[in-house]
Amino acid sequence: MAKKKTSTTEAKDIFIQEQPITQTLELNYMPYAMSVIVSRAIPEIDGFKPSHRKLLYTMYLMNLLKGDRTKSSNVVGQTMKLNPHGDGAIYETLVRLTEGNAALLAPLVDSKGNFGKQYSKDMAYAAPRYTEVKLGAICAEVFGDIEKNTVDFVDNYDGTVKEPTLLPTTFPNILANPNLGIAVGMASSICSFNLTELCDATIQYIKDNSIDLCDHLPAPDFSTGGELIYNRKDLEQIYKTGRGSFKLRAKYRFDKQNSCIEIYEIPYSTNIESIIDKTLALVKSGKIRDITDIRDETDLNGLKITLDIKRNTNPDVLMHKLFSLTPLSDSFSCNFNILIQGKPMTLGVGDILKYWVAFRMDSIRRQLAFDINKKEEKYHLLMGLSKILMDIDKAISIIRNTEQESMVVPNLMSGFEIDQIQGEYIAEIRLRNINKEYIIKRIDELKTLENEIQDLKDTLKSDTKIQTIICKQLKNVQKKYGKARKTTIVQEEEVVTITKDDLIDDYGIRLFLTEENYFKKIALSSLRSAGEQKLKDEDRILCEIETTNRTEILFFSDRYNVYKMKANDIPDTKASILGDYLPNLLGMEPEERILYMTATMDYAGFMVFFFENGKATKVQLSAYATKMNRRKLVNAYSSRAKLVYLEKLEEEADYILMRNQDKATLLNTEMFPMNTSKSASGIQVFTLKKNSSISAVFKPEDFISENVEYYRTKKIPSTGHFIQEKDKAANGFSGQNRLGAE
């Protein structure tokens, strides 16, 4: 009989099952998220993530604390008994812990071979078969007394090996080395502190937990050195809450002979390649013009980035530009998220030290309890041994006359009133040791043991004595492994403040505006070797200004708008091209035209406007300055009458106003007041008849006359003077409007 064919719908019913999203999150997502948080990404109070702890403990079991180095591949293979991840992930973890990688301020692994560098993403580490490792000397403090039940042990993933849940480190390793981790929904970012300063601060905290930690723990310290910009308020915030950030920047020196800058220490959070790539991008875009070459000269002697610069360049100003524009200056964001008894907590430095001291006190109590137990066991055995001192012959007789071996211990127990453990111990004594001298020497230990046990019990009951032990251990760590700071502290007030203008390359430029609204910005150095300006047919230059690259350009349009642009935001061009079309560059309105262009760095001076209806107005240029970087200002001047002429002035000036080519008047701008409003209609300066208007405005030097003072007026509004026939002939009076002439 043929099988019945299952339909597609029936198949879907078999494999697809609806499930509420809340149930999916609870059953599938939450276990995964908690596993990543608790068992992978977030460090615990001993300063280690599970991957670090498994690796280091494996090396400890391999006797690599005192033994010789072994191949990294051997360590990776052995670690897989505790860590079920791939060999690649384990080796990456090992690399970061090594002295050779320079990622840790207090390296935990002594290494030989190429382990790459933390400050370079392209400097790859060698394969594990080529490198060798052993535990660093400081790991003696990490594993101190681990065999004395100082921490809990649990089964590994397959139940074949026991591994520690924490390592009993005798110093606050959680703050001695940087630790970064990204979990699910949370992350951890812990900076490192100098070991000498950290041990001292911890000792002072144990003595008085109300101390100001900033007085004893000045600032973080990093393996890559650099400079830390010190702001006590920011650090106090980090020390209190575990959140905040501080600034780091590179160290450099100037080689005057070779005209180059050598960068030899960089912020911990960046790398060589990022710095070089960003610097090259700035050079190519023209934002940095002083660098002629950049090279990575890092070698066995350490990091070095070399910048070749132009001879007349100020190296300090250039570096401050690079600090603002490249990762040579970077911020380290702190998020002291730590697992405390399986619970993630964001803690300040003081709270971290509080939990670490509590953890360390618990470890020492467990160690003391272990020592007491061992000494009490030994004391108990020696008490049994002391009982046979009274009659050694009896003990020998009991052993000799006992027919069955299994009855030796019971007979000794009944003969000397001792328990089984003591009986087993006595029965195991070698024949040569059954003499008074040996037994008396052993019994003499009873008094010493008794005193030692009492001292240990007294210590176990006293928090003060346990804290004294911790302080003693910290002083020992400080003496053995403490080193000078690598990251230099620079007071914030000592840092040179760089303005936005300082970041702009300052060089001479010339600006060109044409009637067809084409614009050019040409460097003076380029202009010297250039030929004639290329223009469209029948186009002409309307405005030409020589200024610097730090200036701000104002464009006045026929729609009563002002468009503003910074010169450095506009790329340099050449005389041989048409230039930028302003409607595209400025985003102008349809059919809108630019009438006039001016440039300013400080908004000094004023604008003067002359209108067809005989009115004129003055407006301070500062009226066009804005706090926000606005690109367009509307109502930039009066719209009540047609504009005939406008110009920027630094001081008062003379102008000749012409009425319909029959009358003219010469006046000075000081004759009419400065307006407070940009769009003010102004004051009447020329009296006009019906159907007459101002047809042109001249500067006196542009008006040809043997006696130009003939037209001067002493008051406004002026009725003007009829233009003399010889002046009409000399000037031609074509009627052209000189709007925008400069």
Q: Kindly report the CATH number assigned to the domain that includes residue 421.
A: 1.10.268.10
Is 515 within 8 Å of 529 (Cβ atoms)? no
Residue 170 lies in a domain: no
SS3 67: coil
58 — pLDDT class (breaks 50, 70, 90): very high
Residue 553 vs residues 202, 585, 607, 622: alpha-carbon distances, Å: 59, 13, 14, 13
37 — pLDDT class (breaks 50, 70, 90): low
Residue 31 lies in a domain: no
Neighbours of 106 (CB within 10 A): 24
* For residue 246, pLDDT beyond 60: yes
Q: Which of 29, 32, 130, 157 is catalytic?
A: 130
157 carries an active-site annotation: no
What's the pLDDT score for residue 12?
A: 52
Pick the more confident residue, 389 or 510: 510
What's the pLDDT score for residue 287?
A: 80
State the Cα–Cα distance between residues 202 and 47, nearest whole angstrom.
Answer: 15
Sequence-distant (6+) residues with CB within 8 A of 237 are: 243, 244
267-291 average pLDDT score:
91
Q: Is 735 left (phi over 0), alpha (psi -120 to 50) or beta?
A: left
Residue 381 vs residues 148, 263, 347, 388: alpha-carbon distances, Å: 20, 68, 48, 12
Same domain, 695 and 598: yes
Question: Which of 2-16, 128-142, 661-675 has the largest mean confidence?
Answer: 128-142
Q: What's the CATH number where 638 sits?
A: 2.120.10.90
What's the pLDDT score for residue 38?
A: 67
Number of H helices, E strands in the chain: 22, 34
Pick the more confident residue, 396 or 512: 512
495-508 average pLDDT score:
75
* For residue 52, pLDDT beyond 90: yes
Residue 99 lies in a domain: yes
741 — pLDDT class (breaks 50, 70, 90): very low
Pick the more confident residue, 170 or 404: 170
Q: Which of 451, 481, 511 is the last residue of a domain?
A: 481
405 — pLDDT class (breaks 50, 70, 90): confident
Same domain, 543 and 687: yes
Same domain, 93 and 61: yes
- pTM of this structure: 0.76
* For residue 395, pLDDT beyond 90: no
138-165 average pLDDT score:
94
Neighbours of 112 (CB within 10 A): 15
What's the pLDDT score for residue 39?
A: 66
What's the pLDDT score for residue 735?
A: 43
* For residue 228, pLDDT beyond 50: yes
Same domain, 596 and 666: yes
Is 58 within 8 Å of 78 (Cβ atoms)? yes
Q: What is the pLDDT of residues 578-609, one digit of tens each?
A: 999 999 999 999 999 999 999 999 999 999 99
Same domain, 389 and 317: no
Q: How is residue 147 annotated by DSSP?
A: G
Q: How is residue 124 annotated by DSSP?
A: P
2 — pLDDT class (breaks 50, 70, 90): very low
Same domain, 508 and 466: no
The domain containing residue 472 runs over which residues? 358-481
697-717 average pLDDT score:
92
Q: What is the pLDDT of residues 290-326, one digit of tens each?
A: 899 999 999 988 999 999 999 888 899 899 989 989 9
Residue 377 lies in a domain: yes
Nearest alpha carbon to residue 696 among 605, 629, 570, 611: 611
State the Cα–Cα distance between residues 117 and 99, nearest whole angstrom.
Answer: 10
Q: What's the CATH number where 76 sits?
A: 3.90.199.10
15 — pLDDT class (breaks 50, 70, 90): low
Residue 563 lies in a domain: yes
Tally of domains within the chain: 4
